[in-house]
Amino acid sequence: MSKAFRYSMGAALTVAVVSIGTGTSMGTAAAQPFSLPPSQESEVFPLPDPDPFYAAPEDLAAHRPGDVLKIRQLPPSYYFPGSALWELLFRTTDSQGRPIAANTTYVLPSNHVQDGPLLSYQHIINALGHKCKIATALYTTEPLNQIREAVGLNIALGRGWAVALPDHLGPRMAYGAGKLGGQVTLDGIRAVQNVPEFQVTNSKVGMGGYSGGGMATAWAAALAPTYAPELDIIGAAAGGTPMNLVKMGEALGTEPHPAFGLAMAAALGLEREYPERVEVTDHLNDNGRRMRGLIGNGCTNEIMFWGAGRSAAEMTDNQQTFMDLPEARKVLEENSLELYPRVPAAPLFEWHSPTDVLIPVDSLENTLRRYCGAGVAVQSLLTASPDHLSAAALGLPPALDWLDARFRGEPAPADC
């Protein structure tokens, strides 16, 4: 089974790289020396959130997906001036079909009207630690852990839309598990609509996100017809979406990479979500165990810092290839939208750079072509940007305009 580690690392590298969304630039940074106190090597990963709000109730399994387990009002946030905020803990489902508790943050602008538009926006969360959740980042004083997409969200709030911000990595901070993100997103929408005081019980729902957030959004759109058919989803806007994790893994080697920290983070995240199928920890050497200790509860910047210029070959003594390992491959297949046979029922707006080297553009095009063939109204925007990161900012305003038209009831255009 030692081949599983190298396979997971190679495939996870692409998942991680395409999910970079903080604007952090590592360039060609040299690898940093390891320095981990031995006592930290026995830490639990992820460390439990110390806030008792996130503890699941004992009767969790008795609740239905989307049931609200706990609710609390939050202090005002400087990110969203003039809006009221709440946090909800709700019941959802993990990748194995088991009940789990996840959280979402609900933002209600002062100009929202009863049953007005509701937007579920899936942020890019490149992290393994609970301190990196959106609900935490809203109030952090850490300058490197800021919410970069707040400017766009204030456009939505200014239009009177209520906004839900799910922590779509779930309670295990399972970075890389796209299907899980879709389920958490849909149950987070159910949860806020289950609270009458939030004024969105009968609201039309839009969804949006980019890169890793786009993956959660696109998965939510594809799962909705069977997982949450009662939701009135008017459309989904997903940008820079990784559609095929298998193909991404096959395209990668084991050479050093400036974003390797995110690669290892994704491997660890998949191991958390699929512990019986993806083995990583048992095959780490001393370097790998030190790296796990450094990033296992980390956020983007520390993950990027410690992993810059490193490779999977440094983290394990196994030198075998593993592309034929059945279970690891199945996990990636199960999280690849190009290979998922069902299609969204709602229209889709997608945007990406035609020269994006971090995602396989052909997989994106193949998936959209299949959606079009099934009758989904798909509109695509090719940004003028040549790279993955700048395309995020260029496509968000048109995506919000597209959602605005859907909320107004205008027919969805299609360029299939």
109: confidence class by pLDDT, cuts 50, 70, 90: very high
Q: Report the pLDDT value the prediction gives residue 2, as an integer from 0 to 100.
A: 40
| 6, containing H or E segment | helix 3-18
CB neighbour list of residue 13: distance below 8 Å, 6 or more residues apart: 249, 252, 257, 259, 260, 262, 263, 266, 312
CA distance 151 to 132: 19
CA distance 7 to 248: 12
Q: Report the pLDDT value the prediction gives residue 329, as an integer from 0 to 100.
A: 83
Of residues 300 and 69, more confidence is placed in: 69
17: confidence class by pLDDT, cuts 50, 70, 90: very low
416: confidence class by pLDDT, cuts 50, 70, 90: confident
Entry field: residues in the chain: 416
Q: What is the DSSP string of 26-85?
A: -TTPPPPPP---GGGGG--SSPPPS-GGGPPPTTGGGSPTT-EEEEEEEPP-TTSTT-EE
What is each CA distance from 324 to 3, 186, 274, 348, 371, in whole angstroms?
9, 33, 18, 34, 29
Q: pTM of the predicted model, to two decimals? A: 0.91
Give the mean model confidence (pLDDT) for residues 233-259: 83
Give the tens place of pLDDT for each residue, 151-194: 999 999 999 999 999 999 999 999 989 999 999 999 999 999 99
Class of domain 1-416: alpha beta
Give the tens place of pLDDT for each residue, 40-49: 544 678 999 9
Q: Report the pLDDT value the prediction gives residue 325, as an integer from 0 to 100.
A: 67
What are the backbone angles phi and psi of residue 89, rounded to the nearest 5°?
Answer: -105, 130
CA distance 416 to 413: 9
**Omega of the bond prior to 46 within 30 degrees of 0, cis?**
yes
| 380, containing H or E segment | strand 378-382
126: confidence class by pLDDT, cuts 50, 70, 90: confident
C-alpha count within 13 angstroms, C-beta hemisphere, residue 89 = 17
Q: Report the pLDDT value the prediction gives residue 259, as an integer from 0 to 100.
A: 76
**Chain mean pLDDT for the chain:** 87
Give the tens place of pLDDT for each residue, 387-409: 888 999 999 999 999 999 999 99
